[in-house]
Amino acid sequence: MDVTDADFQEKVIEKSKEVPVVVDFWASWCMPCQILGPVLEKIAGDYKGKFILAKANVDQCPNTSSTFGIMGIPAVKMFKNGKVIDEFVGAQPEPNIRAWLDKNM
Amino acid sequence: MVYDVIVLGTGPAGLSAAVYCKRYDLNLIVIGKEAGAISEADEVDNYLGFVHISGMEMINKFVEHAEELGVEIHREEIIKIVKQGDNFIVDTDHGSYESRSLIYALGGTKRKLGLPEEKNFVGRGVSYCATCDGAFFRNKTVAVTGGSDSAAMAALLLSRFAKQVFIVYRRNKLRAFPVFVKKIENTENIKTIFNSVINEIKGKKLVEKIIIENTKTGEKSELELNGIFVEFGHVPNSDFAKNVGVETVENGRIKVKEDMSTNVRGFFAAGDVTTGGNDFDQAVTAAAEGSVAAASVYKLISEVG
């Protein structure tokens, strides 16, 4: 699911009150983002709806990126009940991401 | 299934090796996730055939080229390599693969500053990728540490976004290509602080200032800024190789002969992880080493039959 400044409130903040939403802040010019993106998508498929993966292209989300203090990408944040509960920056190996998800869900 | 060769690494060395292995009609797969140091270069203008291209576009073209020739790339995490008889077993997070030879081209991992507080500021001002994060520092003050080509390129890129860029370098002269040094000297918002190292990062949540130490006088000074881009070069990713007895030199690079062979029969290496390029670490030297390694694998497989 792609999100932008216009629908971030609805698709991430509000939705995270029902189910955890993991937001991947990324950009087309960022190679580590290109590496991490498919890994997150694969994991999201494996977790079968236990969390929602939202892809936030920082070019489409300048205000949201600023609100959440994005200074390095890829930046991955988990939202629960409308708030960020944990985050990591940079491409990570798949087992580390799974451990991070399991710890937070 | 036993492959003739498994190529480890998906940067210029690994992909070039794969292309040549295909030409030799070897039975191979490529395993790797990273895209090589070159993928983070803002602009590459010294690789023949590409006058201006970003590192990311270049690596994507390399992948396209290899895949067009039928090379199978497994985007998997390598966990372990072991030698079993004459063969090699590569375990990944998705499976186990066996081959008669290896071309090891895993490059390096970006060197960190090495300060205890550094990890707390990653994503909060400390960055290891200027092309990824430069745009977040519009009208801010940043520092680049290092004096290599990658440090120079990072500083030049950042000068387009940041209000002020400082290069903090431990020596008294940048070792980047002269063309970069000239550009830096002619860029108004870049200032180089020589004979200096960063020895502390300060800030409540975000980076706010650094403490710089002059390596000649020991004098310390504070510099207020918003970002630090670490460009200290790479630590060779040679651990998997060491585990199968491959010899490395003091800086961790794999010791290779002219044919890219190592002290372990059937284990070849190429690119930034080896001693082969005389520490030059260029995409062109990595690609060349990859092709030599492929030719050597072919020779070995042909001899053994």
Residue B164: its H or E element: strand B164-168
Nearest-Cα distance to chain B for A10, in Å, is 25
Lowest mean pLDDT of A80-84, B186-190, B278-282, name the range: B278-282
Q: What's the pLDDT at B241?
A: 98
Whether the pLDDT of residue B40 is over 90: the answer is no
Is A71 close to B132, i.e. CB distance below 8 A?
Answer: no
**Most distant CA pair in chain B, distance:** 65
Position B278 confidence tier, pLDDT thresholds 50, 70, 90: confident
Is A75 close to B227, i.e. CB distance below 8 A?
Answer: no
Nearest-Cα distance to chain A for B22, in Å, is 25
Per-residue pLDDT tens digits for B206-233: 999 999 999 999 999 999 999 999 998 8
User: What distance in Å separates the CA atoms of residue B120 and residue B270, rounded to the nearest whole number?
Assistant: 34
Secondary structure letter of residue A10 according to DSSP: I
Beta-sheet pairing, B209-214 with B196-202: antiparallel
Q: What's the pLDDT at A17?
A: 97
Higher pLDDT residue, B45 or B67? B67
Q: What's the pLDDT at A95?
A: 84
B136 touches chain A (CB under 8 A): yes
Q: What's the pLDDT at B249?
A: 97
Residue entry with tokens 């491959």:
B246
Q: What's the pLDDT at B233?
A: 86
Q: Is ipTM > 0.90 here?
A: no
Q: How many CA atoms lie within 13 A of B3 on its CB side?
A: 27
Whether the pLDDT of residue B295 is over 80: the answer is yes
Q: Token pair of B96, please?
A: 């186990």
Q: Which domains does chain B have, with CATH numbers?
A: 2-109+234-304 (3.50.50.60), 118-230 (3.50.50.60)
Q: Give ∠ CA B154-B133-B38 in degrees, rounded to 5.
A: 50
Among partner residues B93, B132, B137, which is closest to A32 by beta-carbon distance?
B132
Mean pLDDT along residues B172-188: 96
Q: End-to-end CA distance of chain B, in Å?
A: 17
Q: What's the pLDDT at B304?
A: 82
Residue B29: how many CB atoms within 10 A of its CB? Answer: 20
Per-residue pLDDT tens digits for B113-129: 999 999 999 999 999 99
B59 touches chain A (CB under 8 A): yes
Whether the pLDDT of residue A73 is over 90: the answer is yes
User: What distance in Å separates the CA atoms of residue A100 and residue A80, rounded to the nearest whole number?
Assistant: 14
CATH 3.30.420.10 correct for A2-104: no
Whether the pLDDT of residue B133 is over 80: the answer is yes
Higher pLDDT residue, A105 or A18? A18
Whether the pLDDT of residue B305 is over 80: the answer is no
A49 touches chain B (CB under 8 A): no
Lowest mean pLDDT of B42-46, B102-106, B199-203, name the range: B42-46
User: What distance in Å separates the CA atoms of residue A55 and residue A73, rounded to the nearest whole number?
Assistant: 12
Per-residue pLDDT tens digits for A19-46: 999 999 999 989 899 989 999 999 999 9
Position B130 confidence tier, pLDDT thresholds 50, 70, 90: very high
- Compute and round to an integer the Cα radius of gyration of chain B: 21
CA distances from B186 to B71, B181, B193, B231 (A): 45, 9, 15, 21
Residue B126's SS3 state is strand
Q: What's the pLDDT at B35?
A: 83
Mean pLDDT along residues B100-112: 96
Is A71 close to B123, i.e. CB distance below 8 A?
Answer: yes
Position A83 confidence tier, pLDDT thresholds 50, 70, 90: very high
What DSSP assignment string belongs to B207-264?
--EEEEEETTT--EEEEE-SEEEE---EEE--HHHHHTT--B-TTS-B---TTSB-SS
Residue A47's SS3 state is coil
User: What distance in Å separates the CA atoms of residue B248 and residue B196, rounded to the nearest whole number?
Assistant: 30
Q: How many CA atoms lie within 13 A of A82 on its CB side?
A: 3
Q: What's the pLDDT at B145?
A: 97
Q: What's the pLDDT at B6?
A: 98
Catalytic-residue membership of B21: no
Whether the pLDDT of residue B279 is over 90: the answer is no
User: What distance in Å separates the CA atoms of residue B54 and residue B38, rounded to the nearest whole number?
Assistant: 9
Position B24 confidence tier, pLDDT thresholds 50, 70, 90: very high
Mean pLDDT along residues B287-296: 98
Is A27 close to B129, i.e. CB distance below 8 A?
Answer: no
Sequence spans of domains, chain A: 2-104
φ, ψ of residue A53 to 5 degrees: the values are: -95, 125
